[in-house]
Structure 1
Amino acid sequence: MVNIQSLTFSYQKKKPLFTGLNLQLEAGHIYGLLGKNGAGKSTLLKQIAGLLFPDSGTCEVMGRPSALRQPAFLQEIFLVPEEFYLPKVTVKQYVKVYAPFYPRFDETAFNSYLQEFDIPGSQRLTEMSYGQKKKVLISFALATNTRLLIMDEPTNGLDIPSKSQFRKVIAAAVSEEKCIMISTHQVRDLDNLIDSIVVIDAHQIIFREEVQTVTEKLTFKTVSHLEDTPHILYADTSLRGHTVITKNTGEEHSKMDMELLFNAILKNQSSIREIFR
């Protein structure tokens, strides 16, 4: 689906953002793209969407160079950016203008998503709050039925009930033919949603694994005393005790804590990498 090889990119020649970056994404997965502020998450998404061009290396989507933005490419990709502009039209007028660009646009599904998010179809987009606009754009993105859906901080501006609804509609939208990539700082919003994790840091992809593989190799748990727990890779202390990640040595099943894993990868990268090698 997405094949990035040896990609180098910089906004300033002496400060490369990516150097020799490699990444492959397959259909049938929901990927969570994680990284610190300034790590290049939004830039990477724009590279995939063909809005930015590599200084060297290649970025292909479904076998086509994304930078060329050919019509067949544009019909199969949709980007929900973090910052966006919507015209001064009603939701119905917006659909009438933009839906024809996507051959598999499903208006029935779009209206169903609007109903799920409690958005009136007759209201002007410019009269909506930021959160309502975001939900309209997410609904439209899902209704396009593109094979590649990219979302940059999609839960920003959504209230707690809307975040739950977001997870519900995204989970229902995934299929063997589609690839969904979501970039976020709010990692807890993606819990129980994504099935693969991609972490970007220091100009490179430093971690890319399926959630199932993570839970097979690592154990996530809360303990009262750190000294009683062997093989600790990372620990975070709270009022409940110590939340830790350990190497899974006994086929123990646990639920992945994505925030804890992200911090562990950044703080103890060599040990984590050795376990997944």
Structure 2
Amino acid sequence: MTTMTTDAAAARSAAPRAHAPGAGFATTALTTSRRTLLSFFRTPQILFMGSIQGALFLFMFRYVFGGAIGRGLPIDYVDFLVPGFLTTVILWTGMSAAAGVAEEADTGVHDRLRSLPIPRGAVMTGRSLADGALVVWGIFVTAIVGVLVGWRPDGSALGILTGFVLMFVAGYCFTWVFITIGLVSGNAQAAQGMSMLVIPFSFISSANVPVESMPGWMQPFAANQPVSVVINAVRAHMVGGVDQLGIGHSTAYWTVAALLWSAAILVVFGLLATRRFSKMR
């Protein structure tokens, strides 16, 4: 709570200076993003939690459960696991966005910003850019931990780079889900609770185990929900193709599907968040 209060206080004190009268969309978005990023650095707990959660879960699954879960896979379990965990970092890190946005709304920061002659949509766009940067940081730290625990991607340099780009794109789009949660939740505690409703998407997915190992009634959802689709695309690029994975479609198919899911999430939740921010009282 102290972290979130500090974040909100910093944003509130910066609000009058953050935007010149009549500032354009890009200027407003970049200024808001810069102020939010500075608040992250003033409260290093945010950076720490944004990097440690995914790394801890990766370490646990690699050494506690990996021996049992990884049996029968066509590739080493660590090479199967790490791309999935890198992708689910999007969700674990994104939760802080919901709490931060809710805290700002609860303490009147958003009221102050809406009173300024600036584009309403640019405020949340700037917030999403800052939270997207935090997601990138979490992926970077988790990737380093992955290498330390034995991850050695077999894909080409271009394939590995493409996998990371897909994660960054999906990560930015998913931040809008958590921003929307923060705007509708009412306070930071409620935002944290509501964010937990998104976390099952990381477990009922292809992140940790093959979908085929799940109950038959669960498999259609697990195979086609957006987190699994992004994971399959990332994993296909980093492993070097789908032949070793048995995921039913080509690398190109999963890549296009991941981009379409990301675009749909961005459009739907971007509009919802912008509309909610504009109409809040």
Smaller-chain TM-score bracket: under 0.3
- Write 1 or 2 for the structure with the bigger share of helix: 2
TM-score by length of 1: 0.24
Which structure has more RCO (C-alpha within 8 Å, separation ≥ 6)?
2
- Write 1 or 2 for the structure with the bigger share of strand: 1
